[in-house]
Structure 1
Amino acid sequence: MDEGFDVGARLRQLRQERGLSQRELAKRAKVTNSSISLIEQNSVSPSVSSLKKILDALPVSISAFFAGDEHSQPRPFYKASELTEIGDGVLSWRLVAARRPDRRMSVLHERYPPGADSGDEMLEHDGEEGGVVVEGEIEITVNGEVALLRAGDAYYFDSRLPHRFRNVGDRECVIVSANTPPSFSDGGEELHHG
């Protein structure tokens, strides 16, 4: 997660604003009580899929979670250091313009180290997504169809189809992707392709 961002404090704030105990949030998110406690204490960094499950139970979008209470004026350019890390410590997903109000799409700079995987569970959510492999290779499964994409190759699909991303190569894979509705959207609750 973003080093300058206090994930634990933000989760605690949102949980308390909704009047939920750690136990109740854990029950709704189908995670253990200790998971919520450890995340709020910043003792563990949640995987993207775990954080998504917890935020869906609030419900709060990933975008709103990382934007916090900040509102900034829209601007056209962002330095690499200004991208918001929403990865899980293994996968790196750096979101462009995370704090931009009324953002209608998500643009991500994604890094998958060798062996990295978006998760055992196939992902499904409203919207469309696409991307271009910049370096390395990635195995993408969409609705049972599997392809190995290399630098220069691209993908575009309906995100409601079950999908998964895996780096089966021996070097890092870098992808620049976009999805709409913005980042992690599923009927108003936000998800991402992994």
Structure 2
Amino acid sequence: METGKKRSGPLGPRVKALRKERKWSLAVLSEKSRIPLSTLSKVEHGVLTLNYDRIQQLAEAFDISFSEFLSLDAQDDPLRGQPTARISWAPKGSGLPVETKNYNYNYLCSDLRVKAMMPIHCQCKARTLEEFGDLLKHDAEEFILVVQGRVEVHTEFYGLRTLDVGDGVYIDSRMGHAYLNVGEGEAWIVSVNLNH
């Protein structure tokens, strides 16, 4: 589920730059990504943001990794496929922000284009499954750790569990899942996604 205009960050310009680089029209990108043309137009104009699943669809359409898609550096990475001793810091408050109906994502360490994992600092906003909507699924595995508040974990195949600060869970993200805020204040998690 996408969300209205709030803080789309550099997502729109990134989509447009990758599309123009390939000399694709919005219609071509829509066909390749299976995302409606009108949605893509709104994203490029900063009126709409996308959730994790839709961003994954775009990355696949562009035939790049999720981390490459979110990288702010559009240059080719000469280190691809080679062992490196890279490092990327994630100072408090940093990250590429993407706001959706259910989550406020901060994709961390976006200066590294090619990563084996995607670290995310994420605010869980929805408080009920009805408010959340359909469970999310994406082609990855993920670990989450609650760093603030209480989070209720709903999955397609298991009973719900409530996690407090310091509790975590590792799941196959291809299974439908949702993380709900069930505490009194805000709920924040750190999520590490490993793409298949």
Same fold at TM > 0.5: yes
Cα 1:74–1:2, aligned 2, differ >3 Å: closer, same or farther? Answer: farther
| Deviation readout 1:104-150 (Å, 9 max, x if unpaired) | 22322211124387751441424x32222122222223342121222
Q: 1:80 to 1:89 in 2, by over 3 A?
A: farther
Change (3 A) 1:34 1:106: closer
Post-superposition Cα deviations, 1:133-180, rounded to whole Å, max 9, x if no partner, equal 122222223342121222232212333433332334443211123232
1:33 CA displacement:
1.7
TM-score (norm 1): 0.73
Amino acid at match of 2:53: S
Worse-matched range after superposition: 110-119 or 96-105: 110-119
Sort the Cα spacing of 1:107 and 1:41 in 2 relative to 1 into closer, same or farther, 3 A.
closer
Q: Contact between 1:114 and 1:171, CA under 8 Å: does it hold in 2?
A: no
Q: Does 1:64 align with 2:78?
A: no
Residue identity opposite 1:174 in structure 2: W
State the one-letter code of the partner of 1:171. G
* CA distance, structure 2, for counterparts of residue 99 and residue 137 of structure 1: 31
Match of 1:192 in 2: none
With normalisation by structure 2, the TM-score equals 0.73
- Give the one of 166, 173, 178 matched to 1:159: 173
Q: Which runs of 5+ in 2 are unaligned?
A: 78-84
CA contact (8 A) 2:8 2:47 kept: no
Equivalent-residue separation in structure 2 for 1:61 and 1:102 (angstroms)? 7
Consecutive unaligned residues in structure 1, runs of 5 or more = 187-194
User: Whole-Å Cα distance in 1 between the matches of residues 88 and 25 of structure 2?
Assistant: 40
Letter in 2 for 1:166: L
Tell me whether 1:173 sits opposite 2:177 in the alignment. no
The answer to whether the Cα contact below 8 Å between 1:22 and 1:36 also exists between their aligned partners in 2 is yes
Q: RMSD of the alignment, in Å? A: 3.3
- Name the counterpart of 1:150: 164
The yes-or-no answer on 1:139 pairing with 2:143 is: no
What is the count of residue pairs matched by the alignment?
A: 181
